Amino acid sequence: MLKILDDFLWYRTDTAPGSSGSPVFNDSWQVIALHHSGVPEKDDNGNYLTVDGKVWQEHMGENKIKWIANEGVRVSRIVQTLENAYPTHPLVQEVLQNNTSLADKPDAQPVERKPTELNSRLQVARPNNLTPRINLASEGGTTNIEVPLTITISLGSGNTLVQTAIAPEVTLPLSQPRNRAEAISIDPNYQNRKGYDRNFLGSGTLSVPLPQLSPEMIKRAAINKAVLGQDNYIIPYHHFSIVMNKERRLAFYTAVNIDGNISYRIKRSPDKWIYDPRIERVEQAGEEVYADNPLDRGHLVRRLDPAWGNSREIAKVANDDTFHFTNCTPQHEDFNQNRTTWAGLEDYILNNADARDLRISVFTGPVFRDDDPEYKGIQLPKEFWKVVVMVNETEDRLAATAYLLSQASLLDNLKETFSFGAYKTYQVSVKKIESLTGLNFGKLKTFDPRGHLESLSVMEIGSYTDLLLY
């Protein structure tokens, strides 16, 4: 191995014409790349060099090029690209998630292997009944498997015997679960959703209430039919809440509590988005918006943010709750799938900030503008925002930071081919988010490290080290 790049591996090995697409193995015989080209030596101007150090010309033929390495596309990047670009495609799902063993298949039959005479010391005993008997009960971490085919091998002149059994692969016991995606399953009992907890970070001065809508915004908010009285526009889910703009059919904002201490990494299964029956269907942008175009169903509350709890089952239910169309917003596929500082803000703050108990609360939403482009009966937001709140453990006070991301250049023409990197993340003041959205974040403005730096209220974030958290 000569070099490891983000998308490619460089290695030194012999190849022949027609090797493109061939597997590249590591020393454990795992496929780590697919070969696709040779790597020529170049001069400072990018010209190919020949074996005698001259600038290569096309008429010289490829045999004259000085090849310094071979290059293969990393399998990890191929898998990631498939998962990001086609998460619901049945063929992709079959390739990426088909780790079912032979014994998992109801019609599977044991594989009959013909006895082989290695030498006079090898004896193969085969009874008539070839059906294996499998006992999946575990005791002390041991799984017992009984099969009727036994091979006895005598090694050397000693009396030591090695016995090995040949049988189909079997299902692991429940104590050893596979890392397999589970189907999205929405809990139909909406009465048990408690939603966002304002006292999640602490009570009193550490309490963080939901942002307040203006009277005009309340008129445009979708009404939760399952709730009576004041604030009946708040829609609770497991560990998060949403307030919908019924005219734009998208969320005014989402609010989620994240507990990094008891979080679970629920493997993503094929997406299955559903309408929330607690508000009118016409108040939610549904499947028709995303068909036959480069728009993705973007999560406002990230799928894994509410996936925490005292058990994996609780985390799974919260994970699945994020697949309501109320939590969905149209985002260009480049914007939604490319890894940016925006995608990992919550994780970075949880892992690197002085956040008490590894807990944060996050508010997210679109910026609604009158001139947002209209497409398939809906106006597409060009900007999105986040406000991240935590308790600074050292100073025992709240800290609130705000961020803005724009995909404006991606939405100029949905029929064009778009390039990566056509969007930027900015750290802004909480006041700036209030002015853009009409929301009132109350006391959070006073805990914003950028709140008193008006001249620096907008700062581009090139990397996480640029963040001002306190």
- pLDDT tens sequence across 61-92: 677 788 888 888 898 888 878 777 777 777 77
The answer to whether residue 172 is domain-embedded is no
pLDDT band at 125 (very low <50, low <70, confident <90, very high): very low
Give the structural domain span for 120.
Answer: 106-165
Selection from 154-163, 251-260, 344-353, 412-421 with the highest mean pLDDT: 251-260
pLDDT on residue 414:
45
Count of structural domains within the chain: 3
pLDDT band, residue 114 (cuts 50/70/90): very low
Q: Based on the domain organization, do 278 and 331 belong to the same domain?
A: yes
Which of 283 and 67 is assigned the larger pLDDT? Answer: 283
Same domain, 74 and 113: no
pLDDT at 421: 39
**Does 215 map to a domain?**
yes
What phi and psi values does residue 254 have, to the nearest 5 degrees? Answer: -120, 155
- HSE at residue 39, side-chain half, CA atoms within 13 A, is 15
Within 13 Å and on the Cβ side, how many CA atoms surround 433?
Answer: 33
pLDDT of residue 132: 44
Quick one: average pLDDT of 387-411? Answer: 83
Residue 185 reports pLDDT greater than 60 = yes
Give a three-class secondary structure readout of 291-340.
CCCCEEEEECCCCCCCCECCCHHHHHHHHHHCCEHHHEEEEEHHHHHCCC
Is position 122 within any domain? Answer: yes
The tens digit of pLDDT for each residue in 456-467 reads 467 878 777 788
Q: Is 268 in the same domain as 152?
A: no
**Residue count (the chain):** 470
In a domain? residue 80: yes
> Between 36 and 113, whose confidence is greater?
36
Residues 235 and 363 in one domain: yes
The confidence score (pLDDT) of residue 113 equals 42
Query: For residue 210, what is the domain's CATH number?
Result: 3.40.570.10
Ranges 16-25, 116-125, 342-351, 406-415: which has the least confidence? 116-125
Higher pLDDT, 263 or 346: 263
Work out the mean pLDDT of the chain and round it to a whole number.
Answer: 76
Same-domain pairing of 242 and 379: yes
Judge whether 177 lies within some domain: no
Lowest-confidence region among 73-77, 138-142, 440-444: 138-142
Confidence of residue 390 (pLDDT cuts 50, 70, 90): very high
- Which token pair is 327? 């939590």
At 419 the pLDDT is 33
Q: Say yes or no: 210 and 353 in one domain.
A: yes
Predicted pLDDT at 423: 61
- Name the residue among 245, 204, 212 with its Cα closest to residue 441: 212
Higher-confidence position of 417 and 429: 429
Task: Clarify whether residues 81 and 110 are in a common domain.
Answer: no
Of 267, 225, 228, 257, the C-alpha closest to 244 is 225
> Which of 132, 165, 198 is the C-terminal boundary of a domain?
165
Nearby residues of 380 by Cβ (< 8 Å), 6 or more positions away: 295, 330, 372, 373, 374, 411
| Distance in angstroms (rounded) separating the CA atoms of residues 145 and 136 | 7
Whether 178 is in a domain gets the answer: no
Residue 99 or 78, more confident: 78
Give this prediction's pTM: 0.60
**What confidence tens digit (pLDDT) does each residue in 200-225 have?**
999 999 999 999 999 999 999 999 99
The string of DSSP letters for 6-45 reads SSEEEE-----TT-TT-EEE-TT--EEEEEEEEEE-B-TT
The residues facing 3 across adjacent strands are 10
Position with higher pLDDT, 148 vs 304: 304
* 318 shares its domain with 433: yes
Residue 309 belongs to a domain: yes
Reference 50, options 65, 61, 30, 35; nearest CA is 65
As a whole number of angstroms, the distance between CA 318 and CA 327 comes to 13
The secondary element (H helix, E strand) that includes residue 415 is none
- Shared domain for 151 and 34, answered yes or no, is no
Residue 348 within any structural domain of the chain: yes
| Cα torsion angle, 134, 135, 136, 142, sign | negative
R_g over Cα of the chain: 29
- Provide the pLDDT for residue 356: 79
The proportion of the chain whose per-residue pLDDT surpasses 70, expressed as a percent, equals: 71
Tell me 393's DSSP state.
Answer: T
The contacts of residue 450 (CB under 8 Å, 6+ apart) are 401, 402, 427, 428, 429, 430, 456, 457, 459, 468
**Residue 67 sits in the same domain as residue 119:** no
- DSSP E strands in 132-211: the ranges are 133-139, 142-146, 150-154, 161-165
- Model confidence at 100, pLDDT cuts 50, 70, 90, reads very low
Whether residues 195 and 160 share a domain: the answer is: no
pLDDT of residue 384 exceeding 80, the answer is yes
Same domain? For 327 and 218 the reply is yes
